[in-house]
Amino acid sequence: MKSLIFYLLLFGLSIPILSCEQKEKEVATVKEEKTILTHEKPEYFQLRPEVEKAYGYTHAVKIGNDIKISGAVSMDDEGNPTAVGDLGQQMKNCYADLEKILNHYGCTFDDVVVENVFTTDMPLFLENASYRNTIYTTHFPTGSWLGVKELALPEIMIEIELEVYKTD
């Protein structure tokens, strides 16, 4: 009987030890994955190189499976605001530029995980927000809608930035 109790105690104590070893392996695997990601070289993409150089930014950067896309605004290839005074059209122009960037990386709006919208006129944005239903047809990303005092140029009424996760 004492032997049986001894073996039961021994067996019972070994389970937490194995569990701890398993957790240590899981933590090591996560650390290894993070290390791999931090060693990947960033891939930069400029939609309008001259404009981006003049303002000092890059429109998108991809590291591993993550893509960060700077805020898109309604502008032409020379950096001049377009659709001045028309927030709805400015929004459409932003999404058109964002789609070009997503296409460059082989992505669609289905790959977007975060969308942040900055607008100088929140009530007008809310009147036009249903347009997003034509952009996000599968699911909506997380994100924030922020009313701001001003954007880079006085004519700009909306800016949309994205974070994307590209699956292999």
pLDDT digits (tens, 9 = 90+) for 65-114: 999 999 999 999 999 999 999 999 999 999 999 999 999 999 999 999 99
User: Of 34-38, 62-66, 129-133, 138-142, which gets the smallest average pLDDT?
Assistant: 34-38
For the chain, the three-class secondary structure string (H helix, E strand, C coil) is CHHHHHHHHHHHHHHHHHHHHHHHHHHHHHHHHHHHHHCCCCEEECCCHHHHHHHCCCCEEEECCEEEEEEECCECCCCCECCCCCHHHHHHHHHHHHHHHHHHCCCCHHHEEEEEEEECCHHHHHHHHHHHHHHCCCCCCEEEEEECCCCCCCCCCEEEEEEEECCC
pTM of full prediction above 0.85: no
